[in-house]
A and B are shown apart, each in its own frame.
Chain A
Amino acid sequence: MDATRAEYCVIACAEAWRGDGEVLASPMGLIPSVGARLARHTFSPDLLLTDGEALLVGPDGTPEGWLPYRRHLTTVTGGRRHVMMGASQIDRFGNQNIACVGDWSRPRRQLLGVRGAPVNTLNNPTSYWIPRHSPRVFVERVDLVCGVGYDRAGAAGPSATRFHRLPRVVTDLAVLDFATPDHSMRLVSVHPGVTVEQVEGATGFALAVPDEVPFTREPTAEELELIRTVIDPDGLREREVPDPRDGGTRGGGARERDVPRAGGTRGGKAPAGPGGGGR
C-alpha cells in the first residue's frame, strides 16, 4: 500500500511532536490533527490532546482533564505546549500572517485577525502547516506580523527571544525549518514525488537548500494502519491534500484559499471516528 501525499503530510506533521514529552499538542487544521494523534498513538505517548473544546482527552476520547480557554492561555504562557498553526502568509524568517491581506488600516481582504499568534510564538514552540505551498503564501514580506519570526523576535529583545522557537513548517510539498546561521528558512525534505525545483518555484523567496535533500520518511505499516482505520477512517485528509496521482486538481476544495482553518490558541476540530473526540 503506497502512502498518499496526504499521508506523507500526516507523518511530517506527527514528527513535529517527536520528543516533546508531556506537553499539550495543539494542531490546527485537519492533517496536523491527524498527525498529532498519530504521534500520541505511537512515538509520543505522553502528549496531551484536547477535544477541540474544553476537555483534555485520551486517544479513545476519554476525558482526562479540563482546559477552558483561560487555562489554555496559561498552558501557552507556561510553555508546556507545541502548537501547529496555519498561515495565510509566511516569510523567510518565519513571520506569519493570518489577520488580513493588504494595508491593515483598510485591508483588501480581512481574514481571521491576529488571534493567539503573538502569544503562541513568544511562549511555546510554534510550527506551521500550509496545505498549498505557493508564492502567495511564502512571501518576501508578510502584510501583518501576527506570529513572530526570528528576525522580529531578535529585534524585540531578550524577552521576545527567551521562549521563541519555530521548529518546523510542513506543507503539501515539503518540510522546512529555520536551522541556518541567520535562522532563514531551509528545505529539510521533499515528499516523494516532489522535486527541489518544484519547492523553490512555489516559494516567493530564496530558500536555503542543502546539497542533498532527502525525501520525507516513509510511514511504517503500523502508522498507515492507524491513520487509515483508527484516526481518519473517512479519509478526510485526502480532501485537504488531494493525491497528485489521482489527477486531483490542486487547490480544489477550499474556497477561501488564503484562510487557514484556525489560528487561535485552541486546536482545530478533529475528524470524527474513534479517538476523534470531536464535539
Chain B
Amino acid sequence: MSDKTMSAQDVVGRLESGMTLGIGGWGSRRKPMALVRALLRSEITDLTVVSYGGPDVGLLAAAGRIRTLVTAFVTLDSVPLEPHYRAARERGAFELREVDEAMFMWGLHAAANRLPFLPVRAGLGSDVMRDPGLRTVTSPYPDAVSGRREEFVAMPALRLDAALVHMNRADRAGNGQYLGPDPYFDDLFCEAADATYVSCERIVDTAELTKEAAPQTLLLQRSSVTGVVETPNGAHFTSCVPDYGRDEAFQRLYATTPYAEFAERFLGGGEHAYQSAVHTWRKERER
C-alpha cells in the first residue's frame, strides 16, 4: 500500500484555479477548515465550489475565490446566516447555482456512479427550476394506478475535479474514519471526485482503526483517496465530535469581525500560526 501522506501545502499544490472543488462536512460541522485555510494562503481562485455550505464557503467567498457556488444553503448552524457569504452574495460577487438539499445529494450520487443524471421529485414547482441547466425526465414506466408516466427533475451529476474532506482518523493509505454521529456525505464527495484529499485529526496504523471502533465507521476507502494530511484541530472552528465540539465563541468572533480584520489576525501565517493565534485569543479572553 502506498504512503499517501502529504502536507496541506502539498494538497494546494495539486489544485488549480478554475477547478470544480467539492468540500465535505455540512454547515458548520466537520469541515476541512485547515485545507480551506491553506487554500486561502495560495493564489488559487476562480473556483466552482460544491458544498453544503458553512464557514468554508464564507471564507472563500469573502476572499473572492469563488466564481460559481453550487449549494442548497450556507449556514453557521448556531448562527443561522453566514455573514461573510451573505455580504458576498449581496454584492453579486459570484454566480450561485442553488439546488435543494436532496437534489445536491443525488447530484453527488450520479457523479459517484458515473451517471449523467438521477431522477428526483424535489425541485418541481419550485424556483430552483429557474436554473437553465436543469431539465426534466419522463419515466418510461407508466404508474400502475394512474397509468401516467411521471416527470421528474433530472439532477445532473456533480462531478468534481477534487474533493476536500476532514475525518477523525485515517491511515497512511487513505482509509478514512468518522467517529461522530453523522458521516454527512463525505464518501460521496470522494467518489464523485477525480482526486480526493483527506485531512484528519490523527493518522494511525491501519490496525488501530478497528481496535475500538466498529468497521462501519470506516467511511472512506483508500481507492478513492489521493492524499492524507494530518491536521490536529483541523476542522476548527466547526465541530468534529467526538474529538471536539464547535468552538462557538470563536465562531461568534468570526461572524462579527470584518473579514479583512479576521484574516489579518488569524490567516496571515501557516496552520501552526492559526492555531497559536486562536490559543492566544482564548487566553486573552479568559483574563
Contact = CB atoms under 8 A, between A and B. Distances in A.
B105 interface: yes
Given A116-B72, A118-B128, A158 B146 contact: yes
Given A73-B102, A116-B100, A264-B73, A110 B89 contact: yes
Given A73-B105, A159-B151, A256 B125 contact: no
Interface residues on B, range: 35 or more
B114 interface: no
Interface residues on A, range: 35 or more
Interface string A158-179: 1110111000000000000000
A113 B74 contact: yes
A111 B121 contact: no
B132 interface: no
Interface stretch (A6-14, A37-45, A140-148, A219-227): A140-148
A54 interface: yes
Given A148-B124, A159-B152, A114 B80 contact: no
Interface stretch (A99-107, A187-195, A199-207): A99-107
A223 B72 CA distance: 37
B86 A70 contact: no
A148 B128 CA distance: 11
Interface stretch (B4-12, B182-190, B248-256, B272-280): B182-190
Nearest to B90: A110
A218 interface: no
A119 B101 CA distance: 8
B90 A108 contact: yes
A231 interface: no
Contacts of B182: 53-54, 68-69
Interface string B233-260: 0000000000000000000000000000
B98 interface: yes
B129 to A, nearest CB: 8
Interface of B: 26, 53, 71-75, 80-81, 85-86, 89-90, 92, 98-103, 105, 120-128, 130, 146, 148, 150-152, 181-185
Interface of A: 53-55, 66, 68-70, 73, 76-77, 99-100, 104-119, 121-123, 144-148, 152-153, 155-160, 162-164, 256, 259, 261-265
